[in-house]
């Protein structure tokens, strides 16, 4: 597993954006709405007896993917946002935020820790080039203290980073629940 600092050293970016999603009342409502739509589509599938089966199954899969806590992304590598994702901040390289972020994230991991939960990545820090292309994404689960990249690569991160990062994000209006 790669250290977070190694990952950051490989990025050539011009600015950062922070995103939040897949949480709160809106997400719970979306889950309920999608579950109801899925039930109706499954009933329709049984009634049609294979007519348009692939179309209906595709719709079901899309609805399921949209509300799956473990596989849904608030933003993907191509920049597609989940319908409930909110952009909360944009910060230029070498800005106060960027400098503080790097100071926090480059802390070396000193000891191992284990969590008993499955991470749900509800926060993201996205690094963009001058051409507005995504250079890298850090998906963060503050509940489990886990971070992974846009390629689903888990990163080694010091446990202390999460409290400091939460504080920095909160200062910019990015509230962590």
pLDDT of residue 31: 96
Closest to 38 in 3D by CA, of 13, 10, 68, 8: 68
Which range, of 42-51, 102-111, 120-129, 158-167, averages the lowest pLDDT?
Answer: 102-111
Residue with tokens 């080694």: 156
**Environment class of residue 43 by beta-carbon count within 10 Å: exposed (0-12), middle (13-18) or buried (19+)?**
exposed
Helix (H, G, I), strand (E, B) or coil at 28: helix
Give percent of the chain above pLDDT 70. Answer: 94
Average pLDDT over residues 32-61: 90
In angstroms, how far is CA 42 from the centroid of its own chain?
Answer: 29
pLDDT of residue 159: 86
pLDDT tens for 88-115 read 999 999 999 999 999 998 887 655 566 6
Rg (CA), the chain: 19
Give alpha helix (H) positions in 10-153: 24-48, 53-67, 96-105
Distances (CA, A) of 153 to 110, 114, 117, 138, 150: 20, 17, 18, 10, 7
Domain boundaries, the chain: 2-21+73-171, 25-67
pLDDT tens for 115-151 read 668 889 999 999 999 999 999 999 999 988 899 999 9
pLDDT of residue 141: 92
Average pLDDT over residues 31-41: 96
Average pLDDT over residues 69-89: 92
User: For residues 5 and 32, what is the distance between their CA atoms, to the nearest angstrom?
Assistant: 40
Helix (H, G, I), strand (E, B) or coil at 55: helix
Tokens standing for residue 24: 């709160």
CB 176 within 8 A of CB 168: no
Sort residue 134 into left (φ over 0), alpha (ψ -120 to 50) or beta. Answer: beta
pLDDT of residue 107: 80
User: For residues 59 and 52, what is the distance between their CA atoms, to the nearest angstrom?
Assistant: 11
Closest to 172 in 3D by CA, of 82, 100, 120: 100
User: For residues 61 and 41, what is the distance between their CA atoms, to the nearest angstrom?
Assistant: 11
């Amino acid at each position: 597993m790669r250290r977070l600092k190694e990952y950051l050293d490989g990025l050539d970016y011009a600015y950062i954006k922070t995103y939040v999603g897949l949480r709160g009342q809106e997400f719970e409502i979306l889950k309920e709405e999608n579950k109801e739509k899925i039930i109706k589509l499954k009933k329709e599938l049984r009634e049609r007896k294979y007519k348009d089966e692939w179309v209906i199954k595709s719709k079901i899969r899309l609805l399921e993917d949209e509300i799956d806590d473990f596989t849904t992304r608030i933003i993907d590598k191509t920049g597609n946002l989940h319908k409930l994702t909110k952009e909360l901040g944009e910060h230029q390289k070498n800005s106060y935020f960027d400098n503080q972020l790097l100071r926090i994230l480059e802390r070396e991991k000193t000891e191992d820790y284990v969590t008993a939960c499955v991470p749900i990545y509800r926060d993201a820090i996205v690094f963009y080039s001058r051409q507005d292309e995504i250079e890298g994404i850090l998906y963060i689960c503050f509940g489990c203290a886990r971070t992974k990249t846009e390629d689903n690569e888990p990163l080694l991160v010091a446990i202390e980073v999460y409290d400091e990062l939460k504080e920095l994000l909160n200062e910019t209006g990015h509230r962590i629940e």
